[in-house]
Structure formats: C-alpha cells, structure tokens
Chains A and B, each alone.
Chain A
C-alpha cells in the first residue's frame, strides 16, 4: 500500500501570501496524484488531478507540480475562502486508493 505523508500539518498565513503544501509518497505514483480541498461540513472538492491539471472551475491561483514521490500544491495568493483542509490522493498503485492525512490551512 502506498503511504502518503503531507507537510506541514498546519499552515497559518495571511491573505495574499503564497502557500506551499507538500505530499510525499512511500513509492513512486508516477503522476497519478490528486489534490482535494475540504471545508467544514462539506464534501471534498477536486482541485488538481494527474499532479498538475486543474479541475473545472478551479481558480488559477491553485497549481500542482511534481512526479514520482514528491508533489506540491501551491496557492499563489491566498484568499480568505481558501481556509480548508487539503488532502492528496494517489491512484497509481491501487487498490487501495490512498489519501494523505491532510494539511490544514488557516488564514490569519
């Protein structure tokens, strides 16, 4: 089973700042890595798939990069509505599909 680790666990930044979230896989997942955003009381929302492709209607301030075992989600200029938990998910070596534990982004 591929284990995903995310860092940092919590990120506290001000509006307009740049957020960099990391996801590391225990073995290569090629580019089969997605990012989800989840706000309290809501289901997850797909942001990025195949490591760097933005899903429909996702703002351009969200971008993904990486391949193999190291991936990054960047939010170029934080907005107040970006306060959420962000999960990475791999689907290369499956089943099972696995998720990272999440990074909580707090907007000051």
Chain B
C-alpha cells in the first residue's frame, strides 16, 4: 500500500523559510516521479512542483519559481520542498503526490498534508 507522510509545516513569518519532507513507503520510491500540490484554506488545488525519479528533470509553478526547491533522496525514500522567501499567499496544506505507474501526473497516492502558515 502506498504511504506518503508529510512533515515540516508550521507557522513562519513572511520572508522566512521552511523545509517540508515526505516519507514514502509501500512502493519502490526510486522508480516514481513525485509532485508537491497545495491547497489554500477553503480553496482549490494548485500544483507546485514535479521531480522525475532520478531528479534530473524538475518543474515549478510560476508562483513559486525562484523561491522553492524540490529535491529527493532515493536512499532515504524521501521527497523534500525547500521554501524560501515565503509569502502570505503560500499559506496552504502541502501534499506530496505520486502518479500511476506509467502516468506520473495522474495522482493516485497522496499524503495527508502538512500545513504551512505564513503570518506575522
């Protein structure tokens, strides 16, 4: 069974930084591309970032480009999101998500999310 557990969220001041982690189990993590998706309180879903299985290809939403960095450690079965220069509009529940075998963008595996609140 696919299990994804996010951590690292919390309250941070505008301009601050946080590093989110996603611990994966129940599947061969190194074989799958991974994504971060966020959801502001009471709002819809927004894709944040994508990384291929070997980390060689990375994409970001324009809203986070230059501020967020996605990475992974396949030896530790972990996905990360380094978030710098945080803004109030980054306040959201952050999910890591895994796609179907052969379809990395149809997200069948989701964690429960970790909440990031950017406020002074």
- Measuring CB to CB, which residues of chain A are less than 8 angstroms from any residue of chain B? 32, 34, 36, 38, 43-46, 49-50, 55-56, 87, 89, 91, 94-102
Closest-by-CB residue of A relative to B106 is A49
Chain B residues lying within 8 Å of A50, measured Cβ to Cβ, are 103, 106
- Among B45, B50, B108, which residue has its beta carbon within 8 angstroms of that of A56? B108
Q: Contact check, B108 vs A94: say whether CB atoms are below 8 A apart.
A: no
Chain B residues lying within 8 Å of A96, measured Cβ to Cβ, are 47, 59, 61-62
Q: How many A-B residue pairs have CB under 8 A?
A: 57
Given the known inter-chain contacts A43-B95, A43-B113, please indicate yes or no for A55 contacting B47, CB distance below 8 A.
Answer: no
B contacts with A, residue count (CB < 8 A) = 21
Query: What is the distance, in angstroms, from B76's C-beta to the closest C-beta of chain A?
Result: 22
A32 to B108, CA, bound (A): 15
Q: A46-B100, A97-B50, A101-B44 are in contact. List 16 more A-B contacts (CB 8 A).
A: A32-B105, A36-B107, A43-B95, A44-B110, A45-B110, A46-B106, A46-B108, A49-B100, A55-B100, A55-B106, A87-B44, A87-B45, A95-B59, A96-B59, A99-B44, A99-B47
A44 to B84, CA, bound (A): 26
